Amino acid sequence: MPGSYTYPGVYVEEIPSGVRTIAGVSTSDTAFIDFFAKGPVDEAVRIGSFGDFGRIFGGLDVRSEAGYAIQQYYLNGGQTAWVVRVAPGNPDRAELTLQGGSPPQDTLTLTAASPGLWGNSIQAAVTRPAGTDRFNLFAREVAVINGRQQVLVTEVYRNLSMSTGDARYAVDVVNAASELIQVADAGLGEVPAGVAPTASGGAPESAFASLENGSDGNAVDVDGTILDASAFTAAVRGEQAAKTGLYALERIDPFIFNLLCIPAAARLGDGNFSQIVADASAFCEDRRAFLLVDIPSTVDTKAKMIDWMADNDTLRHRNAAVYFPRLEIPDTLSENRPKNVGASGTLAGVYARIDAARGIWKAPAGTEAVLRGARLAVKLSDLENGDLNPLGINALRTFPIFGNVAWGSRTMEGADQQASEWKYVPVRRMALYIEESLFQGLKWVVFEPNDEPLWAQIRLNVGAFMHNLFRQGAFQGKTPAEAYFVKCDKETTTQNDIDRGIVNIVVGFAPLRPAEFVVIKLQQMAGQIEA
């Protein structure tokens, strides 16, 4: 808008419409926290496939429950995962020191990009073209497969310099790009000793040396036994100030994840398990996420499951769900023999698949909720299912034709006696979805003039978001008035609220609850009776 009208003519002014579209957030981005063979520590890494997991975190490992959970997540329809590697037991990074100068002195230290035994599989070589003070650095990760050494990944850095002012300074170039190693300069300025490059510009095999002394620490044994449950628990729970363990997820930007799985918690014993689940439930409540709780492998009968639930009644939470029984999946590390695993990764994939096909308001259960690539460790009957369901325990069942399916959709607050308004998983997740979408989509409101024009814009934009959900069939009711309401006016925001800088928005919705009990009533028709 011009400051004044000075010349005769036509002036064009744009008037804001007040429309600020609120986009729905993701519904099934899943976070996994556990020990892994390699990868960044206490950092949430986004992956889009099981192949990404193998490349960054080393793939399946008998010591890691979450590795199998991630495999199941993608097999069952998962799309986006956030993986946090914790490193209990003081693991060490593998190292290799290169020398240069005359007499030879330490000049450059190569360290594995992350701690762990995996670093010992990294090899490095240096070549120096004749007559130059430049060098080439080769780094590669190798593995012995079928008795032969094979190269998995190779990185090559050419024309490096040891001069700090040079654009090809080795420390800057390698540390900015390498996924295998980090380098540190000893400060001597000497170029590492190297050999002549091959005719193709590569490094001869004899020039490669291995990094050494990497270790996985002392918290987990080679067979997966957790040797130090306290250290493992502390690593998973993490510290909020340092953003470690569970709190590494706070580094996600924008900070959105929807489901949380910590499969290793079920192996830690009652006390440590309770600590992790309690912390994870509170964390999920604060972040509008949902926790899938795994049960210990010792809980292998209906009676044990009921006892376990009674022992853990203090862990009941509206943002969590638990399933029985555990699953058996083929273990590719053991010639596809059955491996007993928790159900959280599989169910997270089912949640994602149902969300994409039907919407978050559809219960992730029923004949559509097939458990791919998994068998049930225990078969349940209708009567056994009937003992578990009223306690808020979701059953996994096997039916002819349909196979193995999720056959329950209650939160851990879903016991009949609790009479919770958040009894059902889809109702709770729908509320979390709306909350997070509005939280992300209404940031523009902050610092706007707090009066009727603002309130009208809020009603317009929130109403449009809710109406779109209504059109998709997310709510009960035949009309919008029956399905939802958005209220933001002088009744919700008083003058006292305005004086304190507060605008109150009240949003209500009529949730769809699953048809948990289908009752069919039959009656015989009496024959015609002559009067």
224-228: long-range contacts at Cβ-Cβ below 8 A with a sequence spacing of 24 or more?
224/62, 224/63, 224/64, 226/264, 226/267, 226/268, 227/89, 228/88, 228/89
Percent of the chain with pLDDT over 70: 98
Burial of 67 (0-12, 13-18, 19+ CB in 10 A): buried
**pLDDT band, residue 528 (cuts 50/70/90):** low
Provide the strand spans (E) within 74-224.
81-86, 95-100, 105-112, 122-127, 135-145, 148-160, 181-185, 209-210
Per residue in 485-503, pLDDT tens? Answer: 999 999 999 999 999 999 9
Residue 480 has pLDDT above 90, yes or no: yes
Per residue in 256-308, pLDDT tens? Answer: 899 999 999 999 988 999 999 999 999 999 999 999 999 999 999 999 999 99
Residue 189 has pLDDT above 80, yes or no: no
Q: Average pLDDT over the chain, rounded to whole?
A: 93
What pLDDT was estimated at residue 399? 96
pTM for this prediction: 0.93
Q: Could you tell me where in the chain the CATH 3.40.50.11780 domains are found?
A: 30-89+222-427
Q: What is the four-CA torsion angle of 266, 264, 294, 289, rounded to 10 degrees?
A: 130
30-89+222-427 domain in CATH 3.40.50.11780? yes
**pLDDT band, residue 188 (cuts 50/70/90):** confident
Residues contacting residue 395 through CB under 8 Å, at least 6 positions apart = 323, 324, 380, 384, 385, 388, 389, 407, 408
Distance in angstroms (rounded) separating the CA atoms of residues 164 and 189: 8
Cis bond before residue 325 (omega within 30° of 0): yes
What pLDDT was estimated at residue 261? 98
Average pLDDT over residues 39-52: 96
